[in-house]
Structure 1
Amino acid sequence: MPTLPFTLVVITRNEAQKIARCLESVPFAAEKLVVDSGSTDDTVAIARAHGARVVHQDWLGFGPQRNFAATQCSHPWMLVLDADEYLTPELADELQRRLPALMESDAAAAILRRHLIYMGRPMSWYRPAVGEKMARFYHRERARWSDVRVHESLQFKGASPTFHAPFLHDNNPSLVEKQLKVLLYSELKCRDWLDKDKSARMWQLPFVFALSFLKDYVLRLGFLDGWRGYVIAQTAASYAAYKRMRYYEMRVNPASRETAAAALTRSGLDH
């Protein structure tokens, strides 16, 4: 298959079960780059077997890790996927047709639509899970990831074309993995809040949970996806509440910051 002059970038740690599918979904990338932060499984070997160049970088946080990855690419244009994401054949076809003109333009980035697979099958109605728009194709000299530990976003100016066919996110094989991710993401978000010396507003906690649940279950149409919609809304509300409780604990008991970090490391959750 003819290749196009861009780099597929994937950041990994212990993604042996997913990385092959991700890399194989983009056979037309001239380069595949995996930036690994210390996998102890077969991630690195599998990535190399599927044509990727692997670079090691100790974990910096999601935003800084992605910005580091951009410096390692052989091409200025990049497609960014997570290991649990992959292109549909329809999007692969669309990218091959439209990318040459895009890469000749002065655009900074392009928008892709992501569909979520949750509890083993696609969501049908929940708004963030059906066609969520994400900037994932970009020129490294015209765009940059926000320097935050988690929930990073691509920062750029100007118009950005949108691709219509979706890529898929096979999210959290079970609720166990989801809850482990909640622990890690909460810790990272709280560290960002500490850096900014954000005040802990515990009086907001009951309202945060209720409003978050209603937003996802009602306004974002989670209820139309049945019990899976209920679960995804409840999990999102729990995450919103838990990270605020954890931040409060970090402020009133600073020693918990190091004990929690050690616990995450022992459990293999320090990313």
Structure 2
Amino acid sequence: MRTLPLTLVVITHNEAHTIARCLDSIPFAAEKLVVDSGSDDDTVAIARAHGARVVQQEWLGFGPQRNFATTQCTHDWILALDADESLSPELVAELERELPALMASDAPAAWLRRRTIYMGRPMRWYRPSVGEKLARIYHRDRARWTDARVHESLRFEGRAPTFTAPFDHANNPTLPHKQLKVLRYAELKCRDWLEKGKPVRMWQAPFVYLLAFLKDYVFRLAMLDGWRGFLIAQTAASYALYKRMRYYEMRQNPASVAEAEAVLRRHGIDR
């Protein structure tokens, strides 16, 4: 199988259970780069054994970490995946056919569609988990990740094509995984709000929970995925509410920022 002048980039921290599947799912990348932020499991050894070059970088936040990774790539065209994501065989075949034309063009990026595996099987109806469009292929001189600590996105100008076949996201293999991620993501988002001086509006909290639940359960069709859909909607609504509760605490008790950082780090949640 021929390789293409493209770098696969994966940012990692303790991803020993998923990194091999991710790396092995992309056979056409001329370079595979893992940017690791101090894993203390076998992530680095496994990544190297599966053909990746590993660069160590202290954690900067999702957006800055991805932008740092971009500077370490050998090739201008980049495919960015998370360690719990992998390409389907159908998408591999599509990219092998279509990528050469994309890379010869002046397009800044391309969209991929993500399919979420939740509780062991794909979601069938919940809209963000069925064909969610994400910009994951890009030219490093024509696109850049936002500097957000969490929920970063790729920014570019101009038209970008969309590939049809999906890539897979093994989303939070257990509910404890999800709850730990909620704690981590909420903390990062609240620190962004704190830096920007976002006003505290706790009166919105009950409405935020209700509206977030209805958005996912009804309007995004989670209800059609049965109890799995209910759990997704409830978790999303709880996250929306918890962020505001935690931000209120940060504003009321600034010392809680450092105290929470210490306890999350002690339990391997914060980076």
Instruction: Give 1:27 shift.
Output: 1.0
Give SS of 2:82's match: coil
| Counterpart residue number, 2:216 | 216
2:20, 2:170 → 1: CA distance?
13
Note if 1:196 corresponds to 2:209.
Answer: no
Question: After superposition, where does 1:218-233 map in structure 2 within 5 Å?
Answer: 218-233=218-233
2:199, 2:155 → 1: CA distance?
26
Deviations 1:4-43 (A, max 9, x none): 0000000000000000000000011000000000000000
Give SS of 1:81's match: strand
2:128, 2:50 → 1: CA distance?
31
| Counterpart residue number, 1:170 | 170
Amino acid at match of 1:150: V
| Counterpart residue number, 1:141 | 141
| Counterpart residue number, 2:28 | 28
Provide the identity percentage.
75
Amino acid at match of 1:85: E
Question: After superposition, where does 1:152-167 map in structure 2 within 5 Å?
Answer: 152-167=152-167
| Counterpart residue number, 1:239 | 239
Question: After superposition, where does 1:89-168 map in structure 2 within 5 Å?
Answer: 89-168=89-168
2:167, 2:2 → 1: CA distance?
21
Question: After superposition, where does 1:35-74 map in structure 2 within 5 Å?
Answer: 35-74=35-74
Question: After superposition, where does 1:74-89 map in structure 2 within 5 Å?
Answer: 74-89=74-89
Amino acid at match of 2:93: D
**How many residue pairs end up in the alignment?**
271
Deviations 1:112-146 (A, max 9, x none): 00000001110000000000000000000000000
Instruction: Give 1:270 shift.
Output: 1.2
1:152, 1:60 → 2: CA distance?
12
2:108, 2:192 → 1: CA distance?
27
1:72, 1:47 → 2: CA distance?
16
Amino acid at match of 1:119: M
Give SS of 1:207's match: helix
Superposition RMSD in Å:
0.4
Give SS of 1:209's match: helix
1:168, 1:211 → 2: CA distance?
28
Amino acid at match of 2:5: P
Amino acid at match of 2:90: E
2:3, 2:221 → 1: CA distance?
40
1:59, 1:123 → 2: CA distance?
32
| Counterpart residue number, 1:265 | 265
2:261, 2:218 → 1: CA distance?
36
| Counterpart residue number, 1:248 | 248
Instruction: Give 1:44 shift.
Output: 0.1
Amino acid at match of 1:124: R
Instruction: Give 1:105 shift.
Output: 0.3
The alignment's TM-score, normalised by the length of structure 1, stands at 1.00
| Counterpart residue number, 1:206 | 206
Give SS of 2:260's match: helix
The alignment's TM-score, normalised by the length of structure 2, stands at 1.00
Runs in 1 of length 4+ with deviation above 3 angstroms? none
1:191, 1:68 → 2: CA distance?
20
1:64, 1:129 → 2: CA distance?
26
Amino acid at match of 1:128: P
Instruction: Give 1:243 shift.
Output: 0.6
